[in-house]
Every structure is written in C-alpha cells, then in structure tokens.
Amino acid sequence: MSDAKPVSLLAVCGSLRKGSFNRAAMNTAIELKPAGMTVTVADIAQIPLYDEDVRAQGFPPPVETLRQQIKAADALLFACPEYNYSMSGVLKNAIDWASRPPEQPFAGKPVAMISAAAGMAGGARAQLHLRQSCVFLDMHPLNKPEVLIFQAQNKFDDSGKLTDETARNLIRDLMANLLGWARQIGARA
Ligand SMILES: Cc1cc2nc3c(=O)[nH]c(=O)nc-3n(C[C@H](O)[C@H](O)[C@H](O)COP(=O)(O)O)c2cc1C
C-alpha cells in the first residue's frame, strides 16, 4: 500500500446531452481509476458563450468555479466529442473561458483525453485539435494509450455501461498512466 498523497483529478465532458457516450466513457474512466486518485466532475453546462466584453467585467460564476477547480486539480481528464473533425464547441468554449488571464490555470497540468464518436476514427481528429490547445496552454497531455471509441453507438448498453472490453482495458491503462504521470510532474513542480 502506498502512502503517497492522492492525485486529485478534474474530469470535464464536452457533451451536455444526457445520453452522451463521452459522458458514459468518462464515467467508465472514473469507475476504472486506480487507487490513489480522487475525482471531481466539472459542470460546464452553464458557461455562457465567450464574450470579451463580459470578461472585462469579471468571470461569470460558472467560469470562476471551473478556473478554481482546474487550479486545485493535480490532473485533468477531458472527454472530447468529435464535431466536424474537431472538438465540440461546448468544450472549446469552456477551455477558452478558463484560459483567460490572469494566471491561466491550465499551465503545467498533466492531462488525459478520451473520445467516443459515431465515426470510424473514434474522435481522433478532435483529440488532435484538443492537443493543439494543450500545447498553447502549456499542459502535458499523455500520448498513450489512445482511447478512441469508434462507432460508439455499438459500444455502450442502455444504462451507459461501456461493454467493449478492449476500450475498457485501454481506459484502465490510461488512468493508471495518468496517475504515474501526475506524480512524476508533481514531483518536478
Ligand atoms: C455537430 C456534430 C458534428 C459531428 N461530427 C462528427 C465527426 O466529425 N466525426 C464523428 O465521428 N462523429 C461526428 N458526429 C457524431 C458524434 O460523434 C455523435 O453524435 C456522438 O454521439 C457525440 O458525442 P456524445 O454522445 O458524447 O454527445 C457529430 C455530431 C454532431 C452533433
């Protein structure tokens, strides 16, 4: 048994719909997380569309909450839908809001990402765009394993349980890697 401090994870889902496969995948990641990790799930549903004029008057409360949650987290997990070969506007909008100065809270954070998509690429193109944003915001995304749940409509049962064993094993491995990655990066900080 390890007496290392638990790694706190903030999980962010880029789909708002109740039956979201990405949310179901995120819930699977939470279910399969290793010992030594605690999880908070962000609520980005109330974040308004980005408007610099609004920001000039201060962050809206849901944005301030998200910024504080990111700041407090040791690591981040993004569940990243693919919309038109990119990440969903909902996710990008939340990242854009949270990223604004002062002290953008993403810098230095270890990150893992998972996607579930209807197409055969499983959200690969969306994750590449998310990785670009991670570079600019100085996050440290894990490279492997890639979790790309393709034809997601065939991989979950009616209760939202991920039934595909390969995907479940990849998510388990990703979460274990994220714990190690967060400890490595935390030790350097
Ligand atoms: C606006 C829009 C664009 C989409 N574009 C893609 C796409 O580029 N690639 C893909 O695989 N699926 C695409 N889809 C289908 C989504 O993968 C599918 O709706 C998926 O279930 C969305 O994630 P969710 O279940 O978490 O809401 C698109 C869906 C929407 C609504």
Compute how many other C-beta atoms are within 10 angstroms of the C-beta atom of residue 146.
Answer: 15
Q: How far is the CA of 92 from the centre of ligand 1 (A)?
A: 15
Say if residue 127's pLDDT is above 80: yes
Which atom of ligand 1 approaches the CA of 86 most closely?
8
Give pLDDT tens digits for 51-96.
999 999 999 999 999 999 999 999 999 999 999 999 999 999 999 9
Give me the domains of the chain, ranges plus CATH numbers. Answer: 7-188 (3.40.50.360)
Q: Is the peptide bond before 141 cis (omega within 30 degrees of 0)?
A: no
pTM: 0.97
DSSP 12-54: EES--STT-HHHHHHHHHHHTPPTTEEEEE---TTPPPP-HHH
**Residue having the nearest C-alpha atom to atom 14 of ligand 1:** 83
Q: Which residues contact 128 (CB under 8 A, 6 or more apart)?
A: none
**Substitution site in 78, 84, 87 for ligand 1 pocket (most atoms within 8 Å of beta carbon):** 84
